[in-house]
Amino acid sequence: MIAALNGAVDDISKAMRLHRVWVALAREDIGDQHRRTTLGPLWLLVNYVALMGTFVFVFQPAGNDAAGYSAYVAIGLLVWFYLTEIISLSVSLFQREESFIEGTTLPLFVYVMRMALQSIIRAGYAIAGCIVILLLSGSALNAAWLWSLAGLFMILLATPAVITVFAFLGAFFPDSEFIVGNMMRVGMFFTPVFWVYNGQDGVQKYAYHWNPFTYFLEIVRVPIISGELPMHAFAVTGIISLAVWAIALLLLGRYRKQVVFLI
């Protein structure tokens, strides 16, 4: 285990020293995806706002405060779409990077950080739209937003670990790409992204309390919506993040050299 940990740390440290490589690759990827479009990457902002508006229009509960619900959904979709992207795309990461992995000696963590930065850049446009929606909905900018920012930072810290774990999952079990994709699509309806939990029993009670995604949403949403510090959500999210990082380090340390034979 110590050898695996040392191998993982060595791979990560080498990748960090090559930060210019994965930063350049990530920026190039974002530009290529929108090269021939009129709005360019601004389509990421348009897509987020359009989806948010659709969810509010369709799912807003009767008698609910429209502005408050708009803020609720805006934050929920922001976090959920980010988590969905990094999990769903991670499963096929090593297959997409096959030519680089087979043809270069770059550390494996370079490809993890390349994807992580792509997702962060795309999320940046959604964050800009979310802030505008929050201000228009009457959410006052105050010190509680700093806790929300801390929640976003915690999610960003967990991102490379999540990508690593699911990338290895996809390398060892190719069918997991379809399994994970379907689970994330269904999981959206079992996560309080657009529905509000008010203590009701039944499926929603278990979907709220036993769903790990709930706590990742709450550490960003609760400080802005209610001005409170969700200590329990931060604790659960921290434990999950540490566990995922531990698994990621073990996988990276033990199997980073075998990936080339699996893809």
Predicted local distance difference test score (pLDDT) of residue 258: 84
Domain carrying residue 155 = 2-262
Instruction: Quote the CA–CA distance of 235 and 237 in Å, as a whole number.
Output: 5
Which pLDDT tens digit goes with each residue over 173-232? Answer: 988 999 999 999 999 999 999 888 887 888 888 989 999 999 999 999 999 998 889 999
Secondary structure (DSSP) of the chain = -HHHHHHHHHHHHHHHHTHHHHHHHHHHHHHHHTTTSSSTTHHHHHHHHHHHHHHHHHHPPTT--HHHHHHHHHHHHHHHHHHHHHHHHHTTHHHHTHHHHHH----HHHHHHHHHHHHHHHHHHHHHHHHHHHHHTTPPP-TTHHHHHHHHHHHHHHHHHHHHHHHHHHHH-TTHHHHHHHHHHHHGGGTTTSS--SS--SHHHHHHHS-HHHHHHHHHHHHHHT----HHHHHHHHHHHHHHHHHHHHHHHHHTTTHHHH-
User: Stretch 255-262: mean pLDDT, rounded?
Assistant: 82
Which pLDDT tens digit goes with each residue over 10-69? Answer: 999 999 999 999 999 888 888 777 677 766 777 778 888 888 888 777 777 665 566 688
Which pLDDT tens digit goes with each residue over 90-123? Answer: 999 999 988 888 888 889 999 999 999 999 998 9
Number of domains present in the structure of the chain: 1
pTM: 0.92
Predicted local distance difference test score (pLDDT) of residue 89: 93
Mean confidence (pLDDT) of the chain: 88
pLDDT over threshold 80, residue 124: yes
Predicted local distance difference test score (pLDDT) of residue 151: 95
pLDDT over threshold 80, residue 5: no
